[in-house]
Structures are given as structure tokens and as C-alpha cells.
Structure 1
Amino acid sequence: MITLPAGARVLLASRPVDFRKGAHALAALAAEVLSADPFSGVVLVFRARRADRIKIVLWDGSGLVLISKQLEGGPFRWPPIIDGAVRLTPVEFAALFDGIDWTRVQSTKRIPTPGVAA
């Protein structure tokens, strides 16, 4: 299980990528296709063609980190294949990473900060 900070930005590339690519090639792909800065702390999630493998790329402040996972029991739950990226909450990402249908998970609603009464 990977735990992300509450405010982490997670971008899921919905189109399959060539899984022979390493961390730097995936970071370049994210910058080119997703218009995302891979060195900004964003968590980038890529899928294989068969949808049973994912690669995660993130910048930890000192270098690119590449995490790979293959599910043994079936495919990951993915959104329809379209151009661009889908933004996930950290809770939805955790569900996806665990092989759970992330569309059925709801993150807690943010409680508004009270203001000064006028």
C-alpha cells in the first residue's frame, strides 16, 4: 500500500503506454502529452495495454521514483481510453493501487473554514 499526502495531485494517463519505458521516458511523456510537470510533486500513473499492470512515477525531491505493480487476479479498473488524463484523489488512487474499483470510493468532503461574521 502506498500512502499519499492528503493534498497530493494524482494524474492517471488513460491511454496505454509502452511498458518498456523507464522513469525518465514516462516523465517526458507526461510533460509532452499530459502537459504535467513531472518534477512538481504530481503522482503520474500509467497503464499497460492489458490493464493488469501499472507504473507510477513521482519526484521525491532528490530523484524520480518508479513503482511498478502487476495484479495477479485480473485487471485494474480503468476509465475509458481517451486522450489526456483523469485526476484522482489520494483515496481513489489507493483503491486503484489495491485493485479495487476506484469509482465506488468516495473521499471525505472538505469542511469549509468558518469566516468572521460581519
Structure 2
Amino acid sequence: MKMFVKPDSIYLHRDVVDFRKSIDGLVAIVESELKRDVYTGALFLFCNKAKDKLKLVYWDKTGFALWYKRLEKHKFKWPSQLDELEFELTEQQLIGLLSGYDVLGHQALRYQSDLEEIE
């Protein structure tokens, strides 16, 4: 997927939202729940309860734009079980999410040596 804008930041709102909300309702969530400035040009992603629809809203310096995607047979891999209310995504993670990949469901690998540190 080719990006339609070059965002400085991409934020995913973890909780599902009522998809009757349009731009004004989603902007209110960004400002009240996420405590973010919507006029920065950042992208903000939202998902419905069934996780088969996604809305993306952003400010493009002339007004707000709303992007909507509906999956026909599958569900988005939305991180609803994690503790954080929002997640900052990279452009690559956004592309993966839109393509159906689980971009936040895996914990980072951490390795620990069995040997004690030598000072």
C-alpha cells in the first residue's frame, strides 16, 4: 500500500468506538481520551466492535480527512487486550495492520544470560 500522506506520527486508539461517529466525534476522542493535539498532522486510527472496520482521521493543513476501510471476510488484528490506551505505530506497522498482520500482539523478545555479570 502506498501512503496517501507522510505523517509525523501514527496513533492507534486501543478501545473500540461507535462507528456512527464521524470526524467530529473521533476528533473529540483524540482530544479528550488521548490528550493529543489533532492539528499536528498525525494519523489517528479507530476500530469498531466487530473489528472488521477501521477509521483513520487526520488534519491535512486545510481540514480534517477521514479514511474508512471495511474487511469483507476477516478481522483487523486489533490490540484490545494490552494495557495502554494508545499505541504509536510506524508507517510499516500501519501497512501491516491494514494488510491483516498482528503488529502489536507479540511481546518483544528478551534474552538473559545464565551467567552472572563479571565486574
| TM bracket, shorter-chain basis | 0.7 to 0.9
Please give the alpha-carbon distance, in whole angstroms, between the structure 2 residues aligned to 1:45 and 1:91: 14
Amino acid at match of 1:16: V
Moved over 6 A (4+): none
Aligned counterpart, 1:15: 15
**1:1-118 pair list within 5 angstroms:** 1-3=1-3, 4-5=5-6, 8-81=8-81, 82=83, 84-103=85-104
Amino acid at match of 2:97: L
Q: Name the TM-score, length of structure 2 as normaliser.
A: 0.78
Please give the alpha-carbon distance, in whole angstroms, between the structure 1 residues aligned to 2:80 and 2:19: 19
SS in 2 for 1:51: coil
Q: Per-residue CA shift, 1:1-40, capped at 9, x if unaligned?
A: 35153x6211100000010001111011110000111111
Amino acid at match of 2:94: F
Between Structure 1 and Structure 2, how many residues are aligned? 103
Contact 1:8 1:42 in 2 (8 A): yes
Please give the alpha-carbon distance, in whole angstroms, between the structure 1 residues aligned to 2:35 and 2:2: 25
**Cα distance, 1:101 vs structure 2:** 2.5
Larger gyration radius, structure 1 or structure 2: 2
CA RMSD, 1 decimal? 1.8
Q: Name the TM-score, length of structure 1 as normaliser.
A: 0.79
Please give the alpha-carbon distance, in whole angstroms, between the structure 2 residues aligned to 1:29 and 1:98: 25
Contact 1:71 1:99 in 2 (8 A): no
**Gap regions ≥5 residues in structure 2:** 106-119
